[in-house]
Amino acid sequence: MNAVIRRILSGVVVLWAAATAAYLALLAAPGTTVDTIVGDGADTPEIRARIVAEWGLDRPEIVQYVSYLGRVAHGDLGRSYLLQRPVSDVVGAQLGPTLRLAVAAAGLGIVLALVLALTTRRPWARRVSSSAELVLVSTPPFLIGIVLLSVFSFRLGWFPVSGDKGIAALVLPALTLALPVAGVLTQVLRDGLDRALDEPFAVTARSRGLGESAVLVRHALRHALLPAIALAGWLFGVLLGGAVIIESVFGRPGLGSVTLLAVTSKDMPVVLAVVVLSATVYVVLNTVADLAYLVVDPRLRRS
Amino acid sequence: MVVRPGVAVAGGFLAVAALAVVWPSVLAGDPLRADPLHVLQAPSAAHWFGTDQLGRDVLDRVVHGARHSLAIGTAATLLAVLAGVLVGVLAGLSHRYADEALSRGIDALSAFPLILLALLFIAIAGTGTTSLIIAIGVATMPHYARVVRAQTFVVRRAGYVTQAVAFGDSRARLVLRHVLPNVLGPVPVLAMIGLGEAVLVAAGLSFLGMGPQPPSPEWGAMLSDGRGYLRIAWWASVLPGLVVTLTVVSLTVVGRHWQRRFEGRAAR
C-alpha cells in the first residue's frame, strides 16, 4: 500500500512541477505577461483588464502563481483571446479527430508489432525485420506520410488526399503514425521474447512437450508484454507529437492543427493548455503503468 | 575488430555529410540559383535529384541544407549533453532532498512530448535557428541527465573517490579529477544516437515552418515546399526526406556499433 501512495504522490509532484515549468515559460517571455497572453489576438483595454483580472496580474507574484495553479487544478484552462472562446471549448472541439487518429494508430501499431515480433523468429527474417524497423524509426513521419499519399492517393486513388470524412480518410494518417510506433514496439517485444525464452519456465514448458510456437505465445509473450507496459507514457507522447505533424500533412482537423495555429499566432493560453494537458495525461499514464506493475509483479510490492 | 560493411557505408556517408556541413561549396553549386526555364525537372544526369518549383537544383539544396539541419541537431545535442551532465552530476552528488527535487524536475521536463515542449518554447521565443536549437536541447536534456545521475551514484561509492576524500582533496578537485571523467563514459555513445533523434525533430519542426525561414535550404522545409508539387514532382520532397532517413540510419548504425564495442570493453 505504501508503494502505491508513494507512487501517486510522486506523480502529483511531477504534475505540479510541469505546471510550474509551463508558468515559468510564460513569465520568461519577452514583454509583459499581458502582451504574451494577448498574443496576436484583439488588443483592447477591456481585454487587457480581463486578462489582469483572470490571471490576478494586479496582485503580488506569489498570489498570481497560486491563482494560476488553482485554476489549472480545477481544469479551468483560461480563455483564448484570439478565438474569443474558452480554451476548454477550443481544445474539446478538436479532441475527437485526434483521438480517433491516435487510437487507430496505436491499435494498428501494436498489432503490427505483435505480428512482426512473433513471426520473425528465424535468423534471416529477424535480420530483414530489424533493418526495416531501423529504417521506420529513422524516417521522419512526414516523409512516410508523403510517400503514402503519393502512392495510394495520387497514383492509385484508393484514399482521399485530405480531410476527415469516414474511415477511408483515417487509413493513411493512422498507418503513417503507426509505422514508427510499430518499429520501436517490435524491438522491445523481440528483446522481451528472447529473454523470456531463456528463462527456466520456458525450458519447463518445452520439457512438458509443448511446441515452440505454443511456448512462444502462451508463456513467453506474457513476459515480453511486461516491459511494453512501461512504454504507455512514451507511446502517448509519440502519438500526440506525431499527430501535430501528420494532421498537417493530411490536412486533418484536430488538436495538432489547433496547436500549430496557436503557436504561430502566439495564442499562449491555448499553447499552455495543450502542453499542460499532455503532461497530465503522460504522468497519469506512467503512474497507472507503474501501479499496473505492482499488480502484475508481486515481487515489486516488497521493496 | 572487423568493421561490418553496413557500418563502413554509414561512416562514409556521415563523413560526406560532415564535409557538407563544413564546406558545402566543394560538393555542390549555388543552392539559391533559380532557373525559370527548368522548373520541376525529373532527376537526370544534369540534375541528379531533379529541380524544384523555382528551377533550383534539389541536390545542391540538400548539400547546403546539411549545414542547417545537421548543425541544428548537433548544437542542440551538445546543449542537451552539457546541461544533462551538469544537472546529472549535481543531482548524483547532492543530499537526498536536493537530489529528489532535481530528479522530479527532470521527470517534469520529460513529461512533455518532445515536439510540444519545443513548440511551447517557439511560441515564446519565436521561430528560427536559435530557437530550434534551444528548444530541442532543453527537450532532450532529461535523457542525459538521468544516465549521468545514475552513473554518478555508482562512481561516488567507488574506492578511488573514497581514497581521494581520505587524501583531503578539495571538493572541486574531487568532482573535476575523479567524478566527472568517470561518469562521462556512456555519454558520447548516447549522444551519437541522440543526435539522430535531434535531427529528426529539427526536420519535423522545420517542416511545420518553425525553423530557418526561406529561402534557406533546410531539409524539413524543403519537404514542406515540395509537398505542394507532389502530384507532378515527387523528387522535390521525397529525395530530401530520404537524405534525412539515410542520415539518421547512419548515425544509429555507427552509434550502435560504437556502443557494442564500448560495452565489450567494459565487460572485459
Burial class (CB in 10 A: 0-12, 13-18, 19+), A53: exposed
**For residue B1, pLDDT beyond 60:** no
Whole-angstrom distance, CA of residue A280 vs CA of residue A18 = 8
C-alpha grid cell, residue B26: 566543394
Q: Say if CB B236 and CB B222 are below 8 A apart.
A: yes
Query: For the packed helices A141-148 and A232-249, what is the interaxial angle rounded to 10 degrees?
Result: 50
Rounded CA separation A67/A70 (Å): 5
Longest dimension (CA), chain B: 78
DSSP-derived 3-state class of residue A204: helix
* Residue B253 to residue B202: CA distance in whole angstroms: 20
d(CA B107, nearest CA chain A) in Å: 6
Residue A148: which region, alpha, beta or left (left: phi > 0; alpha: psi -120 to 50)?
alpha
What are the backbone dihedrals phi and psi of residue A85, each rounded to the nearest 5 degrees, phi first? -140, 155
Closest residue to A142, CB basis, from B109, B207, B234: B207
What pLDDT digit, counting tens, does each position of A211-235 carry? 888 888 888 888 888 777 778 888 8
pLDDT at B2: 57
Please indicate whether, in this complex, the C-beta atoms of A28 and B220 are within 8 angstroms of each other: no
* Chain B residues near residue A135 by CB distance under 8 angstroms: 245, 249
Give the residue ranges of DSSP H helices in chain B.
Answer: 5-22, 24-27, 58-93, 96-111, 114-125, 129-156, 159-166, 171-173, 180-183, 187-207, 219-226, 235-267
Instruction: Give me the helix-helix angle, B58-93 and B96-111, nearest 10°.
Output: 150
For residue B215, say if its preceding peptide bond is cis, omega within 30 degrees of 0.
yes
Q: Least CA distance to A271: which residue of chain B?
A: B120
Lowest mean pLDDT among A134-138, A160-164, A181-185, A265-269: A160-164
CB-based contact A140 B245, cutoff 8 Å: yes
Q: How far is A289 from chain B (nearest CA, A)?
A: 14
Residue A31, min C-alpha distance to chain B (Å): 10
DSSP-assigned letter for residue B228 = G
Give bridge partners of residue B51 from the DSSP assignment. B57
- HSE at residue B21, side-chain half, CA atoms within 13 A, is 14
| Residue B25, all three cell numbers | 561549396
Q: Are residues A259 and A244 in contact, defined by beta-carbon separation less than 8 angstroms?
A: yes
User: How many other CB atoms are there within 10 angstroms of residue A89's CB atom?
Assistant: 13
Summarize pLDDT for B39-90 with one digit per residue, the tens: 777 787 777 788 877 778 888 888 888 888 888 999 999 999 999 999 999 9
Q: Do B116 and A259 touch (CB under 8 A)?
A: yes
Residues of B in contact with A26 (CB under 8 A): 124
> Distance between CA atoms of A125 and A186, rounded to whole angstroms?
13
Q: In this structure, which amino acid lies at residue B239?
A: L
Q: Which residues pair with A79 in a beta bridge?
A: A86
Q: How confident is the model at residue A302 (pLDDT cuts 50, 70, 90)?
A: low
How close is the nearest chain B Cα to the Cα of A264, in Å? 7
Looking at the complex, report in whole angstroms how far the Cα of residue B197 sits from the nearest Cα belonging to chain A. 8
Report CA-CA distances (Å) from A208 to A132, A190, A211, B125, B196: 36, 24, 9, 64, 46
Taking the alpha carbons at both ends of chain A, their separation in whole angstroms is: 11
d(CA B109, CA B89): 17
Say whether A278 and B249 touch across the interface (CB within 8 A). Answer: no
Tens digits of residue pLDDT in A146-171: 888 888 887 787 887 777 677 777 88
B57 phi and psi angles, rounded to 5 deg = -70, 125
Q: Which chain B residue shows the shortest CA-CA distance from A131?
A: B249
Residue holding cell 480563455?
A79
Of B123, B210, B238, the CB nearest to A271: B123
> What pLDDT does residue B268 have?
34
Residues of B with Cβ-Cβ distance to A36 under 8 angstroms: 124
Q: Which residues of B touch A286 (CB under 8 A)?
A: 111
| B121, B244, B252 member nearest A140 (Cβ) | B244
Q: In angstroms, rounded to a whole number, what is the distance separating the alpha carbons of residues A140 and B240?
A: 11
Which three three-digit cell numbers place residue B100?
529528489
pLDDT reported for residue B231: 79
Q: Which residues of A touch B252 (CB under 8 A)?
A: 134, 137-138
Q: Is the pLDDT of residue A104 over 90?
A: yes
